[in-house]
Amino acid sequence: MNAETSRLRDGGGVRSMAARWIVTGVMSLETAAHFGGEGDTAVDIAVLRDPKEGVPLLPGTSLAGALRGHLADVLGGYRSVEDEKVAVLFGAARSDDEGSQSPLVVFDSLGTLPEGTVSEIRDGVAIDSATGTAEVHKKFDFEVLPAGTCFPVRVELVVGNAKKVVEDPKKEARLVGLLVAALDGLTQGDIALGMRRSRGLGAVKAGRWKALRYDLTKPQDWLAWLTSDHQQPIGDHVQGHSSAAEAIRTACPSLKIEAFDDKRRRLLVDLEMEPAGDLLVRSPATEPEAPDVIHLCTAGKPVLPGTGLAGALRAQALRIARLVREGHGDGDCWVDRLFGPRLKGGNKDSEGGQAAASKLRLTESFLEDSDVRRQTRIAIDRFTGGVVSGALFEEQVQVGGKLKIRVELRDPSDPEIGLLLLLLKDLLSGNIPVGGTVAVGRGVLRGTARVRLPGETVYEIAQDLSVNKEARKVFDKKIAAFHEAETLKAEEARP
Amino acid sequence: MCQNPFIQIELLSDTTFSRGEGTAGLVDVEVEHDAWGLPFLGGKAVRGLLRDSWLSMQEGFPELAPSAVRLFGPEGDCNESSMLHIGDAVVDEETRRWIQAAQTRTNDPVSPAAVLEALTDIRRQTSEMRQTGAPAETTLRAVRVIVRGLILCAPLRWLADPTPQDVRCLCLALLATRHAGLTRNRGRGHVRMTLDGDPEKTRKAAKGGSV
């Protein structure tokens, strides 16, 4: 630094830059999603929109938060204390007044809906497990973006401290490695965004990754970055890649990106299910000629929402847990641990504890190859045996088809796995009907499962619930752990 | 229109040029705005942004160091020895006159609050607690943002005739300043700064061409 430049330097020091990475990609919604907003709209909860053009908006704050959470999960495990490396990429945590600013810039993203689609309205209601009917004051509706909505992703990484980076290129490799680990969450579909993501909403996958690196130790690269377009910094001539890591390697082959061990422990169950008969998840029809009730669709395809499936599973889990844990009296606590505690009266203080997200995550599943059937129903007057006037209605149900459902249990203990296995047994054997009008025989599912326990061991469960000898031994052990677990205290119901 | 020469600041994303306080009952963080309800960015803040950008890039352009000192002034300068004076970045003069006329007319005058509301939006955000996945307590914030697309102009006054190097130094700092305001690393405050509102002219000057 010469005399002239040092005259400019002030007490805050100078943030010198060694390189600037620009990484872009395209993220599309695998399922419907709700990125929260509010406004004077017809629905209870509207999606956040760009105030200028009215298109869906995904704020950089939300995306950065999701990426940060994913990186912390990978480096330290689910719900672990955040690893200090996370702050190197994402800046100081909220409570850290001494920390530094993030070198990563995450841009706001404006969404584009698939052609011919509009935003959708979902109904939400809580079902009382004792009566099987809707709870009072728990009915609401919210707006969702349809599956297929695309959001461009753009992040820029400033590699600071030029002198140290030039002396030790591993510093940049480590920083870029952290970025790759975070962005991999979008590529692999491990990150969900927005509301109700533990129930299948907001699943995303990203691709068409492009990367550019400007070496800011060279004046010509400084000029190249400075004169680049503010809004489209990477031109169409740059080739897209399926992962951010690949795009970054192509942009700078000499950089040896540091890899990190994945510390996440999770149980994954991939279910292949078929409705044994009809399936109906009620949704109001929008066309004038349509039946009174149709099956819920997103982007024109019928779906089984994770919310409905989770509700049915929770009700059955309560029955199982109360029976199995009768001697301990902690059945409800085990269900709360898995599904998240329910807040009675909408006030957490009434429960005396903290709200917590569910450890169990379910996908929203598309119903493939199903047929549509219209059915007319009418109520019969039990006294006269005649029809009830004005009670004629039409339903449009889905018949047949296939569903692929993924169930994920994060950081599971053996007793929790045992409870989930008991639930799976009931689900696969058709004892947990899902959706609406189950009282008239709808919503029965049957199928097979692939269970991947933490540690990558995979076991198959056939349609007749048969499993191999090793799986039986392992499953029995987990179920026995649920039977024999120590009595849970109320406060242990929350993680 | 803005008088020449000037710095044009185009907001490419929603932006919060904060005034460091909220409006009770409405937002926790308010944007800087004048008595007419028009958002602005103080000239001192513009200078600070340009100076910060230059400090980060100065080693790439050592030949422009004397110009940088003339433009941005030396550290702790109390004599205002800088040859460049930067005014507040405000909306263009014609719009200002329309707004002032609308607010001072006798029939149905427009209020400053309505002007501010028309040019801004309110964003709400909260943090999540890592251990539970639930929203963290006392982290819900309402922040006002200036809606993207607004253009602000900051008048420039050269106290001496600038050399081509001085103009180049300024243009390089303008092109390097792409983020401003609160939460600028998280999507808000993406800006495009240009000399006289002409991106091509600014790029050309940054490369060392005459303007």
The tens digit of pLDDT for each residue in B163-181 reads: 999 999 999 999 999 999 9
Q: Do B185 and A222 touch (CB under 8 A)?
A: no
- The interaxial angle of helices A414-428 and A331-339, nearest 10 deg, is 90
For residues B16 and B30, the answer to whether their CB atoms sit within 8 Å is no
pLDDT of residue A10: 56
Q: Is the pLDDT of residue A5 over 70?
A: no
Which of the pair, A359 or A2, is modelled with greater confidence? Answer: A359
pLDDT band at A85 (very low <50, low <70, confident <90, very high): very high
Which of the pair, A344 or B140, is modelled with greater confidence? Answer: B140
Q: Is the pLDDT of residue A38 over 50?
A: yes
Closest residue, chain A, to B179 (C-alpha): A105
Pick from A62, A223, A356: CB nearest B207: A223
A18-36 per-position pLDDT tens digit: 899 999 999 999 999 999 7
pLDDT of residue A141: 86
Q: In what order do the strands lie in the sheet with B151-158?
A: B84-86, B151-158, B6-11, B191-195
pLDDT of residue B65: 93
A305 preceded by cis ω (within 30°)?
no
Q: Is A341 on the interface with B (CB under 8 A)?
A: no
Pick from A10, A105, A231: CB nearest B75: A10
Q: For tokens 């009595």, what's the residue?
A: A487
A89-113 per-position pLDDT tens digit: 999 877 777 778 899 999 999 999 9
A contacts of B55 (beta carbons < 8 Å): 8-10, 14-15
- Work out the mean pLDDT of chain A and round it to a whole number: 88
B contacts of A1 (beta carbons < 8 Å): 59
Q: Is A342 on the interface with B (CB under 8 A)?
A: no
For residues B181 and A201, the answer to whether their CB atoms sit within 8 Å is no
Least Cα distance to A182 among A89, A61, A83 occurs for: A89
Q: Is B190 on the interface with A (CB under 8 A)?
A: yes
Q: Do A227 and B147 touch (CB under 8 A)?
A: no
pLDDT band at A270 (very low <50, low <70, confident <90, very high): very high
Percent of chain A with pLDDT over 90: 62
Q: Is A105 on the interface with B (CB under 8 A)?
A: yes
Q: Is the pLDDT of residue A52 over 60?
A: yes
Q: Is A270 on the interface with B (CB under 8 A)?
A: no
pLDDT of residue A98: 72
Q: Is the pLDDT of residue B2 over 50?
A: no
pLDDT of residue A12: 59
pLDDT band at B208 (very low <50, low <70, confident <90, very high): confident
Segment A108-128 mean pLDDT: 87
pLDDT of residue A349: 45
CA distances from A254 to A69, A183, A210, A249 (A): 29, 20, 17, 8
CA distances from B69 to B86, B158, B207 (A): 15, 14, 20
pLDDT of residue B130: 83
A contacts of B69 (beta carbons < 8 Å): 4, 7-8
Which residues of chain B from 60 to 99 reach within 8 Å of chain A, CB to CB?
60-62, 65-66, 68-69, 72, 74-76
pLDDT of residue B107: 93
What is the distance between the alpha carbons of residues A331 and A324, in angstroms, rounded to a whole number?
A: 8
Considering only A48-52, A96-100, B184-188, which range has the smallest mean pLDDT?
A96-100
Q: Do B65 and A10 touch (CB under 8 A)?
A: no
B71-90 per-position pLDDT tens digit: 988 777 777 778 999 999 99
A424-459 per-position pLDDT tens digit: 999 999 999 998 888 888 889 999 999 999 887 899
Q: Is A40 on the interface with B (CB under 8 A)?
A: no
In angstroms, how far is CA B117 from the centroid of its own chain?
19
**Probe site for chain B from A1, A2, A5 (most B CB atoms < 10 A):** A5
pLDDT band at B209 (very low <50, low <70, confident <90, very high): confident
Q: Do B132 and A79 touch (CB under 8 A)?
A: yes
